[in-house]
Amino acid sequence: MTPGELGEAFRAMDLPGYRAEQVFRWLGRGAAGFEEMSDLPKALRARLEERFDLPALSMIRRQVSAKDGTEKFLWRLPDGESVETVLMRYKHGNTVCISSQVGCRMGCAFCASTIGGKVRDLSASEMLDEVIRTGLAAGTAVTGVVLMGIGEPLDNFDNVMRFLALVNDPAGANIGMRHISLSTCGLVEAIDKLAQLHLQLTLSVSLHAPDDETRSKLMPVNARYGVDELYEACRRYFAVTGRRISFEYAMVRDVNDSPWHARELVRRLRGTGSHVNLIRLNYVSERGLAPSSEETVRSFAKALTDGGVTATIRRRLGSDIDAACGQLRRGEMRKV
């Protein structure tokens, strides 16, 4: 619930508004039950216990990277499903990468999260709990959130928008929209809908190929919205929001990493002010695709930059703890 909704529910119970504010703050600090809310009268805690559900995530597994301090958590959801969350430590703060669905139905050829399809959407409170519990478990403040874990956030539009409002609330987690990134495989109608909300978040689009032929090999969604339509949607998004889009490009050996692909990408993106994030494919054992060599990635990046498109090569964090897309949940599923 938002503070407003909680206030209304409390009014309906003849409780004063400040009680709702107290409870909202407790929830933002990660209270898993009303009994923890020590500044509420005992009788009130019992009443709230009866009236409200507080389903909290419980930790199944925590892995810490020996290389870079990245932490990866596997959480048990109230119905027994599981999702994973990653905490990345940067000089400027700590970012939590959250999942937005249990599984995914987008079917990208290189991604572990989509094997087995989508089980269900996550609720706004489950996503919020990922952020809060990860910060608590890692013993650190969370300063940024990226929606780049398991799932397609724009395929769970309403819950994700509700989550954004909650995580952004000053009385709660208080994460500024400018510290939030949302990544999509390119659902055009949802990108247009998002633009209308004028949020200050960063939209990342998983492009992975500049042309239909290559992109269709990697991403089934391309059959629904081809690259021309996607580029158009990105142009509209920038026109409406004034926020530049960043494109993700996973480099797959002999599939999308040739000089031709780089030239084509330059042709399509030059002058748009868009940024390209190159990442060497994370190897997923179930998938028959290999990462491009480091040298290929470097020359691809140079070709983009020389062509006038800004590009960065994404640093790999947590590679020693299976921090690539969906791998921890897959591991858990194989065990059971």
Annotated active-site residue in 84, 126, 152, 248 = 84
H-helix or E-strand containing 131? Answer: helix 124-138
What is the footprint of ligand SAH within residues 197-226 (CB under 6 A)? 206
Q: Are 185 and 108 in contact (CB under 8 A)?
A: yes
Q: Which amino acid is at 140?
A: T
Annotated active-site residue in 104, 108, 185, 325 = 325
Contact status: 185 vs ligand SAH (CB under 6 A): yes
Contact status: 234 vs ligand SAH (CB under 6 A): no
Contact status: 152 vs ligand SAH (CB under 6 A): yes
Q: Is 332 a catalytic residue?
A: no
Contact status: 237 vs ligand SAH (CB under 6 A): no
- Near ligand SAH by CB under 6 A: residue from 95, 168, 184, 274: 184
Task: Give the 3-state secondary structure percentages of the chain, helix then strand then coil, rounded to 5.
Answer: 40, 20, 40
Q: Which amino acid is at 333?
A: M
H-helix or E-strand containing 122? Answer: none
Q: Is 130 a catalytic residue?
A: no
In the bound complex, what is the minimum distance in angstroms from residue 249's beta carbon to ligand SAH?
8
Span of 25-33, 51-59, 76-84, 278-286 interacting with ligand SAH by CB under 6 A: 278-286
> In sequence order, what are the residues at sequence separation of 6 or more whose Cβ sits closer than 8 angstroms to the Cβ of residue 37?
22, 23, 26, 31, 45
In the bound complex, what is the minimum distance in angstroms from residue 158's beta carbon to ligand SAH?
17
Q: How far is the C-alpha of 278 from the C-alpha of 293, rounded, in Å?
A: 12
Alpha carbon 148 to chain centroid, angstroms:
3
Nearer to ligand SAH, 40 or 71 (CB): 71
Provide φ and ψ at 85, rounded to 5°. Answer: -140, 140
Contact status: 231 vs ligand SAH (CB under 6 A): no
Q: Which chain residues interact with ligand SAH by CB under 6 A?
A: 106, 108, 110-111, 148, 152, 183-185, 206, 248, 250, 279, 281-282, 284, 324-325
Active site residues: 84, 325
